[in-house]
Each structure stands twice: as structure tokens, then as C-alpha cells.
Amino acid sequence: MLEPYWSNDEHGLAIYQGDCIEVMPALEQEFDLCLTDIPYQISQESNGLRNLHYGEWDVGGTPVETVLTCAAACQSACIFCDGRQLSAVIQGLDVAGFSTRQLAWHKSNPSVLNGSSLFLSAVELAAYGKQAGAYFGGHCVHNLIECSTVATGIRIHPTQKPMAVMRRIVELCCPPDGIVLDPFLGSASSLVACYRLGRRGVGIEISEEYCELAAKRLEAEMEQLRLIEPQDVPRVTQLTIEN
């Protein structure tokens, strides 16, 4: 039996180190939601003003084919990708029998790079797919999530998604007793969202460095070594006393 790199049985969370194509068969498990952020494969030489190379993990490989193989073991999928990958991911989900939509995260504070000569890059896209009968916890929900980018001080991965984005998707697309798969785990934002919402989750990450960082992030989360988010703060109700 494949041993996890890190796990917490109480909350049903686990991290496995390795190539997801090799790890998935060993898990012998089906999932409710595949939520992940694949390598965009957009790294390039720096222009001297900004680092445009995100790491070796963003170069080469076939993440589209790989993530579609993983999504086939899931009832629903939400796969963040570059715009040039989106069509292939959606077409792959269509072929696999998913009903599909595009999902967009609108950044309220995008980078202003080349703002005087180009539209700001204020949107990141995801391919969403749902098998017949799969869970969806919303009603007439728009396929747009408004949220600022991750604060610099808590970023542990170059393409880390904000917790508000990941939490919203888990809430809508995974049933309360369900389990999430993230085959490109990175900073483990998906598993943190699972923890906060009481869902189970499995992450697969090829890099031992990021496995360790993800495990430490989850441990810190469980020890409540994090800032309280606005939605976690109880609302104070004003009481009116009549004479």
C-alpha cells in the first residue's frame, strides 16, 4: 500500500509525493472533485524588469493530458490553466462525458505590468466539468469569482491561488461528506480549503520541497497559526432596549 508523505486521519487529509499518473492507480479511489492548478507552461527569459520564469516545474511535460487522466476518476473537475490550454482541457472533459463551463477568477488588484500599452491581465481561467448527477451546491451562481491576489507575505508558491477562490469552489462543487483530489498540489491551498470546510482531501505533488512546505502549512493551519479571515469573525448584533 502506498504510504503518504503526510496525513491527518482525523480530518481525512493526505499528501503523496510523486508523479500523479503513477500515484493515482495506487490510490484505488474515486473522488468528488478534482481541483487543481496545472503548470501554465508560460515561463520565459526575464526582461530585466520582472522574473518571468516560475520554476522548472513550469517547463515541458504534458499537464493537460495528465490532469484529464486524473479528472476521469472524479465526479466534477475545476482545473485552472493558461488561456492557451483552456480549449484542450474543456474538449477533454467533454469527451470524457462532463458537462462543461469556463470559470473565471477576476483579480481586483492585478499586476500593472505593461498597463500603458496592453489590457491588464486581470483574469485567470479554469475549465469546469460535471458528470451527470454530481453535486453542485449553488443556484444560478455566476461563473465569475471576484477576489484579490494572494498577499506577498503568505505566498509559498509562485502561482498560489487565494484561499477565498479555492474555498468557494470546494463549497460549491464538493458535497459536505465528499473528497477532493489535487494532482498538482503546490502550496496546498485546495487542502486548506478542505480543512476549513470539513471536506476530505488528497494532494499529489512531485516536488519533495513543496510536499514539505504544504505539510507545514497544513500543520500550522490546524494549530490555528493563521490570521483570522473576515468570514470567521462572529458578527456583533446590536440590541435595542425599549423603555
What's residue 238's pLDDT?
46
Instruction: Name the residue with higher pLDDT: 66 or 150.
Output: 66
Average pLDDT of span 185-204: 96
Give CA–CA dist 25/159, Å, rounded.
27
The pLDDT of residue 162 is above 70 = yes
Query: Average pLDDT over the chain, rounded to whole?
Result: 87
The pLDDT of residue 153 is above 60 = no
| CA 200 from centroid of its chain's CA atoms | 14
Q: Compute the C-alpha angle 209/215/221, nearest 5°.
A: 135
What's residue 59's pLDDT?
46
The pLDDT of residue 77 is above 60 = yes
What's residue 44's pLDDT?
45
Q: Which of 128, 218, 216 is nearest to 173 (CA)?
A: 128
pLDDT digits over 87-109, tens only? 999 999 999 999 999 999 999 99
Q: Where are the domains of the chain?
A: 6-232
CB 126 within 8 A of CB 102: yes
Average pLDDT of span 217-235: 65
* Top CATH class, 6-232: alpha beta
What's residue 235's pLDDT?
47
pLDDT digits over 130-151, tens only? 999 999 999 999 999 999 987 5
Q: What is the CA radius of gyration of the chain?
A: 19
- Locus of grid cell 500523479: 20
Weakest-pLDDT range from 43-52, 166-175, 178-187:
43-52
What's residue 35's pLDDT?
98
CB 160 within 8 A of CB 210: no
Percent of the residues in the chain that have a pLDDT greater than 90, as a whole number? 75
Number of C-beta neighbours around residue 153 at 10 A: 6
Give CA–CA dist 218/163, Å, rounded.
13
Please write down the long-range contacts of 137-143, taking CB distance under 8 Å and 24 or more positions apart.
137/171, 137/172, 137/173, 137/175, 138/172, 141/172, 143/101, 143/102, 143/103, 143/104
What is the β-pairing status of strands 144-147 and 99-107? parallel
CB 199 within 8 A of CB 40: no
